[in-house]
Amino acid sequence: MDDKKIIFSGIQPSGNLTLGNYLGAIRQWVNLQNDYHCIYAMMDMHTITVRQTPAELRRRTLELLALYIACGIDPEENIFFIQSHNSAHAELAWVLNCYTYMGELQRMTQFKDKSSRHAENINAGLFTYPVLMASDILLYQTDYVPVGKDQMQHIEICRDIAQRFNSIYGDVFKIPEGMLPKVGANIMSLQEPTKKMSKSDPNPKAYISMLDDMNVIAKKIKSAVTDSEGVVEYREGDDTKAGINNLLSIMSSVTGRAIDDVANDYAGKGYGDFKADVAEAVVETMRPIRAEFDRLMVDKKYLTDICAKGAESARRISGRTLAKVYKKVGFVI
Ligand code: TYM
């Protein structure tokens, strides 16, 4: 094994991917593939904490893989697998459940949010979800976890659980670190820009789906909520500027230019010009991804072969960690 560090991350195939998922997560992954050993999963086991339609979940899981590849992550160089294809995740999650406190889990923002949105189904899986996520990460002796800002609290709890386990049994787990993109770590809703852009938002105008038609993407950006000041300027923490801050972050992220440089282009111009340019930049970023996605989805066998190969590698790597854990806690192996 060389001395490249290990990256692990994943996305839930629970809805159409948004521009937030792309800019917060996948886009950073593309840039990491040459310098790290990267493992990316389709997190199907996490999705059933909320009710799913089985046929849709199956379809979305393969679509997610096609999107990873269409965004430029090379399936020859990186490991892609479906979480439920590697039972080590569920097995380690059980063990780590016994090393995680109810109080820690009760503080998780995502649990509080989801349990208020799905009050009719506050199941135990929704509560222990961060333990499964910790298992995903720790099984691969991961160094870095590239995610958007909303997942950082889950990475903190993962580190706490790993440190607790190591303090009892010695160095079993590598302590991972979260990795945020410089811009785009927190893309906001286009309709309520103080709220995160989310694939589960009931208002489709609030988010851009990576599978939206190009004219729909442009329309949604052009109708994004802004303010009446008419000045294209980034003001961190100023909620009245949340809409413009968000569009500037999106523009900076898709073009790779600094936020202030982008803002300078619009001195003395109105929001109409700015929005039209953001719309065009996003559309031009999404167009080739969409074309590649459509091409990949025609060949299901190509996609399922990648999953089979990836699952084999994932099982091999994670098996070493799981065996160590079982031995440490006293299971006969
Ligand atoms: P998920 O599926 O909700 O989101 C996937 C990734 O997209 C990022 N993201 C965003 N980034 C910026 N702005 C937004 N509006 C935005 N919305 C989503 C998320 O931060 C994430 O990086 N629990 C995870 C999935 C998971 C996982 C893991 C991730 C399960 N096990 C192990 C890393 C490692 C989740 O629900 O992400």
Which residue out of 5, 149, 199, 205 is catalytically annotated? 199
Distance in angstroms (rounded) separating the CA atoms of residues 272 and 288: 25
Write the DSSP assignment of 157-226 as a string of letters. Answer: HHHHHHHHHHHHHSS-S---EEE--SS-SSPBPSSSTTSB--TT-S-GGGS-BTTS-HHHHHHHHHT---
* DSSP β-bridge partners for residue 82: 42
Using a 6 Å cutoff on CB, does residue 186 contact ligand 1?
yes
User: How confident is the model at residue 306, as a pLDDT?
Assistant: 98
Tell me how long the chain is.
Answer: 333
Distance in angstroms (rounded) separating the CA atoms of residues 214 and 157: 39
User: How confident is the model at residue 117, as a pLDDT?
Assistant: 87
* 182 in catalytic set: no
Candidates 8, 9, 11, 208: which one to mutate for ligand 1, based on the most atoms within 8 Å of Cβ? Answer: 11
Q: Taking residues 201-213, what's their average pLDDT?
A: 96
* 324 in catalytic set: no
Residue 1 has pLDDT above 60, yes or no: no
Residue 16 has pLDDT above 90, yes or no: no
Of the candidates 304, 228, 232, 247, the one whose C-alpha atom is nearest the C-alpha of residue 62 is: 304
* 222 in catalytic set: no
Band of residue 2 on the pLDDT scale cut at 50, 70, 90 = confident
Would residue 141 be called left, alpha or beta, if left means φ above 0 and alpha means ψ between -120 and 50 degrees? left
Q: Percentages helix, strand, coil for the chain, rounded to the nearest 5? A: 60, 10, 35
Structure tokens at 58: 């199956």
Structure tokens at 37: 């050993």
Distance in angstroms (rounded) separating the CA atoms of residues 140 and 223: 43
Distance in angstroms (rounded) separating the CA atoms of residues 105 and 161: 11
User: How confident is the model at residue 205, as a pLDDT?
Assistant: 97
pTM: 0.96
Distance in angstroms (rounded) separating the CA atoms of residues 243 and 275: 11
Distance (angstroms) between ligand 1 centre and the Cα of 22 equals 10
User: How confident is the model at residue 118, as a pLDDT?
Assistant: 87
102-132 pLDDT tens trace:
999 999 999 999 889 889 989 999 999 999 9
Contact assessment for residue 26 and residue 68, using Cβ atoms and an 8 Å cutoff: yes
Tokens 């189904």 locate to 121
Which helix (H) or strand (E) segment holds residue 47: the answer is helix 44-47
Distance (angstroms) between ligand 1 centre and the Cα of 175 equals 19
User: How confident is the model at residue 69, as a pLDDT?
Assistant: 98
62-80 pLDDT tens trace:
999 999 999 999 999 999 9
Structure tokens at 329: 């806690």
3-state SS, 280-326, equals HHHHHHHHHHHHHHHHHHCCHHHHHHHHHHHHHHHHHHHHHHHHHHH
- How would you label 26-62 residue by residue, b for 16+ Cβ within 10 Å and e otherwise? bbbbbebbeebbbbbbbbbbbbbbbebeeeeeeebbb
Ligand 1, atom 31, residue with closest C-alpha: 133
Structure tokens at 255: 């073009």
Using a 6 Å cutoff on CB, does residue 185 contact ligand 1?
yes
